[in-house]
């Protein structure tokens, strides 16, 4: 399977125009059966890499997923990470901030959920909501309790981008590798998926009136995403714009990008020194003698 992650990566300094980024590319699979085989192979590899990450305990990995409604974030997380040991993986979903969270800076609530070394952390939405939905709906910004002097909408977004970049750079310097995915869905494909959620009773719970309200701000969201991706994709914490009109294809692309990142860490299982091996062999002899005694 030929996947070139760099094809989907926003390079540092690039000015993003989402109209020029595809929402659909040539499928990486020829049939549903082949898709299942490819995904299962990748999931098995991810499981092995996650065990190595946990054993070496020298790095943490943070995956961030952002997208418009119905782009497939939940499904991508569920399918791609299905083989990961739950002890080594943590998933957090961030919605409207609580009253307590609003008493702190905008990075506070997500900072508490960062993965420790040896683990993979997944943010289903993240601190990036503070430069996306809050930018589209500035009334949210005005309700956050900030001093009036800091509510200059001409400067606050650049200031928040700077805070985000500084935090991500700090995390990288301390062993956390960050991969950010924007699932790029077309407006037409979203329309189809909304209709499916209405037509299929078992999917009704996924749909809310708010989804339609937010769809009305589509252009504003695209501008907010373009500004965000342009400002915050760095060499150490890159954004990947993943074509999301084909859910299966998106999952294969995401899995490959995560795998390549894990492999790039050059991890090894901890080596056992001579003293440790001697101790283990002595314990082994005791256990063998115990079995003979029984």
Residue 293 pLDDT greater than 80, yes or no: no
Question: Given pLDDT bands bounded at 50, 70 and 90, which one contains residue 1?
Answer: low
DSSP assignment, residue 234? -
Question: Given pLDDT bands bounded at 50, 70 and 90, which one contains residue 289?
Answer: confident
- Comparing 186 with 87, the larger pLDDT belongs to 186
- Give kind and range of the element (H or E) at residue 147: none
Question: Given pLDDT bands bounded at 50, 70 and 90, which one contains residue 78?
Answer: very high
The per-residue pLDDT of the chain, averaged, comes to 93
Per DSSP, what are the bridge partners of residue 60? 176
The H-assigned helical ranges of the chain are 32-56, 73-80, 99-102, 108-111, 133-136, 138-142, 156-173, 187-199, 209-215, 218-232, 247-264, 274-293
Query: What is the mean pLDDT of the segment spanning 89-110?
Result: 92
Q: Show Cβ contacts of residue 50 under 8 Å, excluding neighbours closer than 6 positions.
A: 84, 85, 88, 89, 120, 262
Residue 101 pLDDT greater than 80, yes or no: yes
Report how far residue 37's alpha carbon sits from residue 73's, in angstroms, rounded to the nearest whole number. Answer: 21
**The pLDDT of residue 64:** 98
| Residue 264 belongs to domain spanning | 5-293
106-142 residue pLDDT tens: 999 999 999 999 999 999 999 999 999 999 999 999 8
213-222 residue pLDDT tens: 999 999 999 9
- pTM > 0.95: yes or no: no
3-state secondary structure of 237: coil
Per the listing, tokens 């070139």 go with 4
Residue 162 pLDDT greater than 80, yes or no: yes
Query: What is the mean pLDDT of the segment spanning 224-233?
Result: 98
Question: Given pLDDT bands bounded at 50, 70 and 90, which one contains residue 150?
Answer: confident
Count the domains in the chain: 1
Query: What is the mean pLDDT of the segment spanning 3-8?
Result: 84
Tell me if 150 sits within 8 A of 156, measured CB to CB.
yes
Question: Given pLDDT bands bounded at 50, 70 and 90, which one contains residue 82?
Answer: confident
Report how far residue 137's alpha carbon sits from residue 135's, in angstroms, rounded to the nearest whole number. Answer: 5
**The pLDDT of residue 127:** 97
CB atoms within 10 A of CB 212: 11
Angle (CA) 271 272 275, round 5°:
150
* 131: nearest Cα among 277, 205, 232: 232
> Domain holding 27: CATH number?
3.40.50.300
**The pLDDT of residue 85:** 83
Report how far residue 214's alpha carbon sits from residue 262's, in angstroms, rounded to the nearest whole number. Answer: 35
**The pLDDT of residue 107:** 97
* 52: nearest Cα among 261, 274, 204: 261
Q: Show Cβ contacts of residue 256 under 8 Å, excluding neighbours closer than 6 positions.
A: 1, 3, 5, 42
Length of the chain: 294
Number of H helices, E strands in the chain: 12, 6
What angle separates helix 73-80 from helix 32-56, to the nearest 10 degrees? 70
- Comparing 149 with 184, the larger pLDDT belongs to 184
Tell me if 54 sits within 8 A of 269, measured CB to CB.
no
**The pLDDT of residue 294:** 63
**The pLDDT of residue 24:** 97
Tell me if 128 sits within 8 A of 64, measured CB to CB.
yes
**The pLDDT of residue 5:** 78
């Amino acid at each position: 399977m030929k996947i070139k992650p760099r094809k989907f990566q926003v390079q540092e300094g690039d000015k993003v125009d989402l109209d020029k980024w595809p929402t659909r590319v040539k499928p990486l699979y020829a049939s549903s059966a082949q898709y299942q085989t490819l995904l299962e192979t990748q999931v098995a590899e991810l499981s092995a890499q996650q065990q190595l990450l946990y054993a070496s305990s020298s790095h943490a990995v943070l995956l961030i997923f952002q997208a418009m409604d119905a782009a497939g974030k939940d499904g991508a997380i569920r399918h791609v990470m299905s083989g990961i040991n739950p002890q080594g993986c943590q998933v957090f979903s961030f919605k409207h901030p609580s009253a307590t969270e609003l008493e702190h800076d905008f990075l506070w609530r997500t900072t508490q959920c960062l993965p420790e070394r040896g683990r993979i952390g997944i943010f289903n939405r993240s601190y990036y909501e503070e430069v996306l939905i809050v930018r589209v709906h500035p009334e949210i910004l005005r309700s956050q309790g900030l001093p009036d002097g800091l509510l200059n909408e001409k400067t606050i977004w650049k200031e928040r981008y700077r805070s985000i970049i500084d935090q991500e750079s700090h995390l990288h310097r301390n062993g956390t590798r960050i991969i950010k995915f924007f699932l790029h869905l077309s407006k037409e494909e979203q329309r189809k998926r909304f209709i499916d959620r209405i037509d299929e009773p078992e999917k009704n719970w996924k749909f809310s009136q708010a989804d339609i309200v937010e769809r009305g701000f589509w252009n504003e969201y695209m501008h907010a995403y373009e500004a965000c991706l342009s400002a915050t994709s760095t060499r150490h914490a890159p954004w990947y714009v993943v074509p999301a009109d084909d859910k299966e294809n998106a999952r294969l692309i995401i899995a490959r990008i995560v795998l390549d990142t894990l492999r790039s860490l050059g991890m090894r299982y901890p080596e056992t020194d001579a003293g440790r091996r001697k101790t283990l062999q002595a314990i082994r002899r005791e256990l063998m003698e115990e079995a003979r005694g029984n």
